[in-house]
């Protein structure tokens, strides 16, 4: 009744060994893609949680304090590097 399909099912001996490895390889590729997508999504969310306006506001305050003479140049440089 199932003549010509060989012991591996459809494709006989030619496709049999390849089909046997396709499932595990496809599963590894699938999970690698899922993990990669999760990493990029988490990085995206982390980037969104940082508010650029807060950083720029802090830098503007620092610049104005330096301009008013409230802080020295060395302190300004150190704090500016911390903010950036």
What is the end-to-end Cα distance of the chain in Å, rounded? 74
Q: Which residue has the tokens 């008013």?
A: 68
Does this model's pTM top 0.85? no
Question: pLDDT band at residue 59, thresholds of 50, 70 and 90?
Answer: confident
In angstroms, the CA 22 to CA 12 distance is 15
- pLDDT tens by residue, 4-49: 555 555 555 555 566 667 788 889 999 999 999 999 999 988 887 7
Residue 13: its pLDDT value, please?
53
The pLDDT value recorded for residue 84 is 75
Which helix H or strand E contains 23, and what residues bound it? Answer: helix 12-49
């Amino acid at each position: 009744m199932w003549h010509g399909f060989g012991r591996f099912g459809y494709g006989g001996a030619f496709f049999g060994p390849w089909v046997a490895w396709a499932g595990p390889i496809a599963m590894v590729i699938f999970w690698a893609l899922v993990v990669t997508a999760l990493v990029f999504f988490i990085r995206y969310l982390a980037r969104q949680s940082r508010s650029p306006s807060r950083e720029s506001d802090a830098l503007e305050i620092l610049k104005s304090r330096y301009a008013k003479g409230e802080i020295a140049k060395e302190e300004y440089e150190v704090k500016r590097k911390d903010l950036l």
